[in-house]
């Protein structure tokens, strides 16, 4: 098998002294839930990370182009983020919001200043699922309505209510969880009825949201919920005009609009700080997680003062929400994104990546579509461009081969035929060239 040299990088991993890979596999088999999934036929053990690279127990370096599932936003173990976390950790690790602490308010202010419109009130939680649960609760209380419109091919989490919002059978257990949730057609210009050649595609897909509201609900809804680009669903970018029209129909039916920015926020889009901005809309509630904490268990719901007020009807409490260590880390992440111009880097590296995908597409017929914005990208493989039959098995082989060549990427879409490339935003031009070279070799080897 051909070998390739990763771009040079000045970091020496510490000698690994922990249990062997076999022991870790056995521990996991014996003591952890069998529902856990590992990537790769021979799973790899990641024991160290530095910026856009990770290391296995043997000290082998990999380019991490998936960022721990789109979570490492500014780089593994980013020194400034670590410094701020460590300082807070050594001073006060936990107290909860029943006492005052400066960092949560300061962080709330910083995050609110990143938001457009009247989105100025933050509620901190620990995961994307929790954030979406809370957003749903607020929307239902605020509007007095129950029904919700979500999208097919969406992923919003694994808790009861967010499993209901998600729309891939893969993630839905066979028990009631979707009461009141209606899923509109996924606005998929590659596979859906209206394609890239139709300038009105966005409005046409949004008409299904209107139709659902009219026919499947009491005509009144609590919310319309959508990722700004569908992540787990395979980096699906909506046609222009989709969200603006869907938001209009939702608001006309008394609902609020929820943007799930769990994967798309914090500059990853390159052209904009938030994914919803690429569609020219301002939501009423925004949920965020993953990249917000660069690996810390941190998530947030940001909304307007009017909507936030609704939770005062009862006490809503979250033990770790607003934890000082997570908030100190979250503040540092916001600072690093600005100081290191990572949004701009996402734009430039994202454009370079997309140009590379286009070249691969002209060489490899198996690529049916390449899409994305900034560093939120996907390459969809099909057995032939006419039938668009998902090339799931080939996708798995490319994915394995890339790992052998030192490149970690993600895999998604309902049929597992989309390569997901969503690296930390600190990625460099030689890294992007490396990604393209690896994919070229792996696709040529099919």
Ligand X SMILES: Cc1ncc(COP(=O)(O)O)c(C=O)c1O
Residue 106 burial (CB count, 10 A): 13
Q: Write down the least CB distance from residue 228 to ligand X, Å.
A: 9
Residue number of the CB atom closest to ligand X: 128
Q: How many residues bind ligand X (CB under 6 A)?
A: 15
Nearer to ligand X, 127 or 245 (CB): 127
x-or-dash string of contact with ligand X, 138-177, rule CB under 6 A: -----------------xxx--------------------
SS3 237: coil
Compute the C-alpha angle 321/170/390, nearest 5°: 125
Q: Which residues contact 135 (CB under 8 A, 6 or more apart)?
A: 223, 225, 258, 285, 287, 301, 303
Q: Is residue 128 part of the contact set for ligand X (CB under 6 A)?
A: yes
- Which phi and psi (to 5°) does residue 440 adopt? -60, -45
> Rounded to an integer, what distance in angstroms lies between the CA atom of residue 370 and that of residue 358?
7
Q: Write down the least CB distance from residue 206 to ligand X, Å.
A: 20
Q: Is residue 232 part of the contact set for ligand X (CB under 6 A)?
A: yes
* Chain residues 51-80 in contact with ligand X, contact rule CB under 6 A: 69
> Rounded to an integer, what distance in angstroms lies between the CA atom of residue 337 and that of residue 111?
12
Nearer to ligand X, 154 or 441 (CB): 154
| Token reading at 382 | 């099909």
* Chain residues 82-111 in contact with ligand X, contact rule CB under 6 A: none
Site stretch for ligand X (CB under 6 A), options 12-20, 96-104, 173-181, 224-232:
224-232
Q: Are 124 and 329 in contact (CB under 8 A)?
A: no
Q: Is residue 377 part of the contact set for ligand X (CB under 6 A)?
A: no
x-or-dash string of contact with ligand X, 240-279, rule CB under 6 A: --------------------x-xx----------------
> Rounded to an integer, what distance in angstroms lies between the CA atom of residue 46 and that of residue 44?
6
For residues 171, 321, 423, 236, the Cα torsion angle rounded to the nearest 10 degrees is: 40
Q: Is residue 49 part of the contact set for ligand X (CB under 6 A)?
A: no
Binding site for ligand X (CB under 6 A): 69, 127-129, 132, 155-157, 227, 231-232, 260, 262-263, 289
């Amino acid at each position: 098998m051909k070998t390739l040299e990763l771009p040079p990088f000045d970091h020496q991993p510490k000698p690994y002294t922990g249990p062997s890979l076999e022991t870790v596999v056995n521990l996991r088999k014996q003591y952890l839930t069998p529902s856990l999934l590992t990537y790769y036929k021979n799973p790899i053990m990641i024991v160290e990370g530095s910026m856009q690279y990770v290391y296995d127990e043997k000290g082998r370096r990999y380019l991490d182009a998936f960022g721990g599932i789109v979570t490492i936003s500014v780089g593994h173990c980013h020194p400034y983020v670590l410094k701020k976390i460590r300082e807070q950790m050594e001073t006060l690790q936990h107290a909860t919001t029943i006492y005052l602490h400066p960092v949560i308010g300061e962080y709330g202010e910083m995050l609110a200043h990143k938001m457009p419109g009247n989105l100025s009130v933050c509620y901190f939680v620990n995961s994307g699922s929790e954030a979406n649960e809370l957003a749903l609760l607020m929307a239902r209380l605020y509007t007095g309505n129950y029904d919700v419109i979500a999208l097919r091919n969406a992923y919003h989490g694994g808790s009861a209510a967010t499993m209901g919002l998600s729309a891939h059978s893969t993630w839905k257990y066979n028990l009631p969880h979707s009461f009141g949730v209606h899923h509109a057609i996924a606005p998929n210009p590659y596979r859906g009825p209206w394609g890239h050649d139709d300038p009105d595609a966005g409005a046409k897909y949004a008409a299904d949201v209107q139709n659902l509201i009219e026919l499947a609900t009491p005509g009144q809804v609590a919310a319309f919920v959508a990722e700004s680009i569908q992540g787990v669903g395979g980096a699906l970018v909506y046609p222009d005009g989709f969200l603006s029209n869907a938001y209009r129909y939702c608001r006309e039916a008394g609902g609020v609009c929820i943007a799930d920015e769990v994967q798309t926020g914090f500059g990853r889009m390159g052209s904009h700080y938030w994914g919803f901005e690429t569609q020219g809309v301002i939501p009423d509630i925004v949920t965020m997680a993953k990249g917000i904490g660069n690996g810390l268990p941190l998530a947030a719901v940001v909304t307007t003062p009017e909507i936030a007020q609704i939770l005062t009807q009862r006490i809503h409490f979250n033990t770790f929400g607003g934890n000082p260590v997570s908030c100190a880390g979250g503040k540092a992440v916001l600072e690093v994104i600005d100081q290191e111009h990572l949004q701009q880097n996402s734009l430039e590296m994202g454009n370079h990546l997309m140009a590379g995908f286009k070249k691969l597409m002209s060489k490899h017929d198996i690529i049916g579509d390449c899409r994305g914005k900034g560093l939120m990208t996907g390459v969809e493989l099909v057995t032939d461009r006419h039938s668009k039959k998902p090339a799931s098995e080939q996708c798995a082989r490319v994915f394995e081969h890339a790992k052998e060549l030192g490149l970690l990427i993600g895999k998604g879409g309902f049929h597992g035929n989309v390569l997901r490339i969503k690296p930390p935003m600190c990625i460099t031009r030689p890294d992007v060239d490396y990604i393209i070279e690896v994919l070229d070799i792996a696709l040529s080897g099919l």
